[in-house]
Structure 1
Amino acid sequence: MSNMYVQALHVHPVKSVAGTAPNEVAVEPWGLSGDRRWAVVDGEGAVITQRQQPRLALASARPLGGGGIALSAPGMADLTVEVPEPGPREPVVLFGKKIETVAAARAAADWFGAYLGVPAHLVHMDDPAVRRPVDPDYALPGETVSLADAYPLLITTLASLDALNSLIAQGDHPGEGPLPMNRFRPNVVVSGAQAWAEDDWRRIAIGDAVFRGVRECGRCIVTTTDQVTAERGKEPLKTLAKHRRIGKSLAFGRQLVPVRLGTVRVGDEVRVME
C-alpha cells in the first residue's frame, strides 16, 4: 500500500456542473473547500442534476474569491455570481429530503433557465455546518455534508479505472471505452494503488488530513454521460452490474468523511492507516 499519491484533485462548485482541478485545496468538515456549495433547482424546488439534464455536464463553474463563482456554457455569455446576502432560506429537495438554502441573484436563474430551456434557478448552501447531516447509518454525531450526493468526499484510483476499462473492453459495449475518470466526478484521484484496493480503506491520511472510509460509492446514470458531449451510452453501468455489485450498489470509488482537517495537494502521499 506504499507509494500511493494524489494524482489529481477536483472541486465542483455547482452540483452536476463541471468544475476545476486545483493543485491544492483545504479540507473542511463537509468536504473540499468550495465543493458542491451551489445547486440548480427546478420550478418545484427539486435539485436538478445530470440525471435529468445531461447538458449540465457542458456548463462549468470556476470558484472566485469570497465563495462566488464564474459560470460558462456553450452559447451563453459568462456570468459571475456572488454569494447571496443572508436572507430568507429556501427549502430544496434532494433525494426526497429537504435542505435549506439561499437563492442566488435573479441573473443566475435567467442564465440557467435559458441554458436548460426549463424553469430553473441557482441556490447556495449558506451554512454546511448545520444544514444537512450525513446518513446516520454511516455517520458519527454532528457530521454534515454539502450538496454532494451523500458524503463529503469521493476518492477513486487510476488502477481501478484501468481494471474497469479492461472489463468494458471484454464486454458487450467495448466501443464505449476506455472511459475517462471525469465520468465518476471524484474529489481525489490516487495513483500507485492496486485495483479495487480502496474497497477496504477504513482510515487514510492524505497530507495532514485524515479521513474515514465509510462505504463504496454506488453509481448511477450520470456515469454513462460523456462529460464532453453530454451524450449517453450504456457503460460503465452494464459492466459494473456484472463485476462490481456490492449489496445494492454498482460500486466504483469510496466515500470519505474527514476526521482531521488540513490541506491536500497533488503529489501528497496517501497512507492507509486502517
Structure 2
Amino acid sequence: MGEASARVKTIFVYPIKSCRGISVAQAPVSPTGFRWDRQWMVVNANGRMITQRVEPKLALIELELPHEAFSESWEPSSDSCMVVRAPGMDMLKVPLSKPCDMVEHVSVWNWNGSALDEGARAAEWFSNYLGKTSRMVRFDAASQTRLTDPDYANGYKTMFSDQFPFMLISQGSLDALNKILKEPVPINRFRPNILVEGCGPFSEDLWKEIKIDDLTFYGVKLCSRCKIPTINQETGIAGSEPTETLKGFRSDRILLPNRKPQGQVYVGQHLVCKESFTKDKGKVIQVGDTVCIVQQLSSTADAAA
C-alpha cells in the first residue's frame, strides 16, 4: 500500500475553464478527470479558447452546480442547471442536459475538434461580459477524444484542461511560499484539483505513484506555471507575484540542473488516475481521504517536466 504521508484537505472542480472553482466534499472520478471539471469553455469568434491569460475578468465568474451533482451516480434531470454569476451581470442558468447543436473548429492549445454549443443566451451573456464576441461550449465526450501528451501519460484523456486530468498541490508548498512572500497568496492562485496536507513542502514533486483511498494516481509531470498565479482571483488584477519570488527557488534552472533552462517555474504535480480506464461507477475521492506514497523519486532532478 505504501506510506501514509498526507490527507486530502480540499477538492476543487472547475466546470468552466478559467472561471472560479467549486470546493466540494467529494468528487467522482471519470475517464477525463473529476466529473464536470473543465467540461465547459468560453471561445472567441474563431472557436479559440479564452482564458484568464487574456481575459483576467474570467476570475470573477462564480459557478454553482447542484449539490447532488457530485454524488457517485447522479444524473441531471431536465430542470438541472449550472448557475453562472459575475459582477454587473444578471444570473445565467445553463441546463445540464446536453444541447443538440454543435460548433466546429473549437481549439485548446494544439487540439482541434467540435463541441456542443450552449446557445444564444449563453453566447450573449459572455459576449456582454467580456466585451467581445464569445460563445460557451461543452465538451462532447460521445464524439470527441482529447488525449494527454503520450510522452508523459500515454492513453489518458482529458476535456478542456490545459494538459492533464488532475493537478495536485500540498498545503506545505503553499505555506513555504507564503513565508517568503510579502503578501501571502491563497491556494486559488494555483487552481489545483486536489489540495493535500500533512506532508513537507514540495514533497509532491517526487510522487510517482500514490493511492488516495483505493484509487491509484501517477505523477506524470511537474506543473509549469503560466501568468494565472499572478492574477488576484478576487479582483481580476494581475501583478508580478508570486512568480517573481518563485523564480528564486522553483525555476527549472534550480530544480532541473541537468536540462536546458526554459524559463519555467513549477508548483504542483500533474496526475492521471489508473482507474479512469475502468467504467465501473463508485470511484470517488473525498476530503479526509488518506494519501499513501507507493513510489517516489530520489530528487526533483529526476522529475518529468
TM-score (norm 2): 0.83
SS at the partner of 2:153?
Answer: coil
Deviation at 1:3, TM superposition (A): 4.7
Displacement, 1:144? 0.8
Q: 2: distance between equivalents of 1:182 and 1:118?
A: 26
Distance 2:56 2:232 in 1: 9
**What is the alpha-carbon distance in structure 1 between the residues aligned to residue 147 and residue 210 of structure 2?**
22
Which one of 133, 153, 158 corresponds to residue 119 of structure 1? 133
Q: How far apart are residue 149 of structure 1 and its match?
A: 0.6
Residue of structure 1 equivalent to 2:121: 107
SS of corresponding position for 2:245: helix
Shift in Å, 1:129: 8.2
Structure 1 stretch 120-129 or stretch 8-17: which is displaced more? 120-129
Spell out, residue by residue over 1:154-201, the C-alpha distance to the aligned partner (whole angstroms, 9 max, x if none): 000000011112232xxxxx2xx2010000011000000101100010
The 10-residue stretch of structure 1 (154-163 or 62-71) with the greater mean CA deviation from structure 2: 62-71
Task: State the AA in 2 paired with 1:7.
Answer: K
Larger C-alpha radius of gyration, 1 or 2? 2
Give the match's secondary structure for 2:24.
coil
Aligned to 1:228, the other structure's residue is in SS state coil
Question: What do you get for the CA RMSD once the two structures are aligned?
Answer: 1.7
Q: 2:298 maps to which residue?
A: none
1:160 aligns with 2:147: no
Q: Conserved in 1, the CA contact under 8 Å of 2:40 and 2:137?
A: yes
Q: Unmatched 5+ residue regions in structure 1? A: 169-173
8 Å Cα contact 1:13/1:62 also seen in 2 = no
Q: Is the 8 A contact 1:206 1:264 kept in 2?
A: yes
For 1:171, the equivalent position in structure 2 comes to none
- Residue 98 of structure 1 and its aligned partner are, at CA, apart by 1.2
**TM-fit CA distance, 1:99:** 3.3
Task: Give the alignment partner of residue 65 of structure 2, picking from 49, 63, 66.
Answer: 63
In structure 2, what is the Cα distance between the partners aligned to 1:160 and 1:129?
39
d(CA) in 1 for partners of 2:90 and 2:246? 38
- Does residue 222 of structure 2 align to residue 207 of structure 1? no
CA distance in 2, matches of 1:2, 1:211: 14
1:266 pairs with 2:272 = no
Aligned to 2:265: 250
In the other structure, the counterpart of 2:88 is 75
1:137 to 127, 151, 161: 151
Per-residue deviation, 1:2: 3.1
* Structure 2: stretches of 5+ with no match in the other structure: 70-75, 257-261, 277-282, 296-305
1-side partners of 2:107 and 2:28: how far apart? 28
Change (3 A) 1:129 1:258: farther
**Percent pairwise identity:** 35
Letter of the structure 2 residue corresponding to residue 227 of structure 1: Q
Contact 1:59–1:71 (Cα < 8 Å) also in 2:
yes
Residue in structure 1 matched with residue 236 of structure 2 by the alignment: 230
Give the SS at the match of 1:163.
Answer: helix
Amino acid across the alignment from 2:51:
T
Please report the TM-score for the alignment, with normalisation by the length of structure 1. 0.92
Q: Indicate conservation of the 8 Å contact 2:99/2:117, yes or no.
A: no
> Structure 1 residue aligned with 2:223, among 217, 235, 243?
217
Specify the SS of the correspondent of 2:23.
coil
Matches of 1:11 and 1:128 in 2, distance apart?
21
Structure 2 residue 198 is the aligned partner of structure 1 residue 183: no
Tell me: CA distance 1:45–1:257, structure 2 relative to 1, closer, same or farther (3 Å): same
1:54–1:225 contact (8 Å) kept in structure 2: yes
8 Å Cα contact 2:178-2:184 kept in structure 1: yes
Query: What secondary structure is seen at the aligned counterpart in 2 of 1:273?
Result: strand
CA distance in 2, matches of 1:100, 1:61: 24
Deviation at 1:97, TM superposition (A): 3.0
Verify the 8 A CA contact 2:60 2:86 in the aligned structure 1.
yes
1:89 to partner: Cα distance: 4.3
Q: Distance in 1 between matches of 2:49 and 2:65?
A: 20
User: How many angstroms apart in 2 are the aligned matches of 1:78 and 1:207?
Assistant: 38
Preserved CA contact (<8 Å) 1:128 1:144: no
Contact 2:189 2:229 in 1 (8 A): yes
Equivalent residue for 2:47? Answer: 45
Give SS of 1:231's match.
Answer: coil
Counterpart secondary structure, 2:157: coil
User: What is the identity, as a one-letter code, of the residue corresponding to 2:36?
Assistant: G
The amino acid that maps onto 1:123 is: V
- Kindly provide the amino acid, as one letter, of the partner of residue 250 in structure 1: V
Aligned to 1:69, the other structure's residue is in SS state: strand
